[in-house]
Chains A and B, each alone.
Chain A
Amino acid sequence: DAGVIQSPRHEVTEMGQEVTLRCKPISGHNSLFWYRQTMMRGLELLIYFNNNVPIDDSGMPEDRFSAKMPNASFSTLKIQPSEPRDSAVYFCASSLTEGSPLHFGNGTRLTVT
């Protein structure tokens, strides 16, 4: 298995632009998670899905952030409009079931200027 695949690896954009991050979980995994990692705050859970349904989005910072999972093999995290404070590494992770080991993608490094 190729593991969790995220794209793009790097994204540089200007403040106010829309950013879309993409994730393909491991085939057969039922849970998908979006995390954000910064030096100041460490790893923060933004949202997680179970069987394509959003279960907990309390970590989404504000209405500028939205996430979708239209099917079991694809998810997006969108930021509109983006701001410099959104600069971070965004990770997608999946697990077979809730409580199973978590498998992370290599992340998308987002820089908003």
Chain B
Amino acid sequence: KQEVTQIPAALSVPEGENLVLNCSFTDSAIYNLQWFRQDPGKGLTSLLLIQSSQREQTSGRLNASLDKSSGRSTLYIAASQPGDSATYLCAVLPLVRSARQLTFGSGTQLTVLP
């Protein structure tokens, strides 16, 4: 059974810092990996999706990498801003079509201090 772990559970940084959020998964047979952002009282917003054949994806100040063989993904946030404060979740989609549902990590709660 796929397990997704995100460490740390919470992170607090001063504005302007570059930071890295970590995600690890136990089964490397994945179709893709997605990073989401969740603001309090809201649903999840998809940030980046990396296909299993890709190594990284970029969107603005965000860069997500994928190392399937080691079961790891990172989300890099450059020049962090207070507006980046949210919970960040990663989720993996298995390769096996019959089990095609996302497994989510428990998230990293990020606070960017002004």
A residues apposed to B, CB below 8 Å: 4, 33, 42-43, 45, 48, 55-56, 91, 93, 98-107
The total of Cβ contacts below 8 Å across the A-B interface reads: 44
Question: Which residue of A is nearest B103, CB measured?
Answer: A45
CB A12 to nearest CB in B, in angstroms, measures: 16
Question: Which residue of A is nearest B43, CB measured?
Answer: A104
Question: Which residue of A is nearest B97, CB measured?
Answer: A98
* B42 in the interface (beta carbon within 8 A): yes
| Chain A interface helix/strand/loop/mixed | strand
Would you give 30 A-B contacts (Cβ < 8 Å), ordered by A?
A: A33-B101, A42-B104, A42-B105, A42-B106, A43-B89, A43-B104, A45-B101, A45-B102, A55-B100, A56-B101, A91-B44, A93-B43, A93-B44, A98-B100, A99-B31, A99-B32, A101-B34, A101-B46, A102-B34, A102-B44, A102-B46, A102-B91, A103-B46, A104-B36, A104-B44, A104-B45, A105-B43, A106-B42, A106-B43, A107-B43
B residues 88-114 near A (Cβ < 8 Å) are 89, 91, 93, 97, 100-102, 104-107
| Chain B interface helix/strand/loop/mixed | strand
Give complex CA distance A33, B44 in Å: 13
Question: Which residue of B is nearest A100, CB measured?
Answer: B49
Question: Which residue of A is nearest B99, CB measured?
Answer: A56
Give complex CA distance A98, B102 in Å: 10
Query: Which B residues touch A101, using CB under 8 A?
Result: 34, 46, 49
Residue of A4, A45, A56 touching B43 (CB-CB under 8 A): A4
Identify 10 new A-B residue pairs, CB closer than 8 A, beyond the known A98-B100, A99-B93: A42-B105, A48-B101, A91-B43, A102-B34, A102-B36, A102-B44, A102-B46, A106-B42, A107-B42, A107-B43
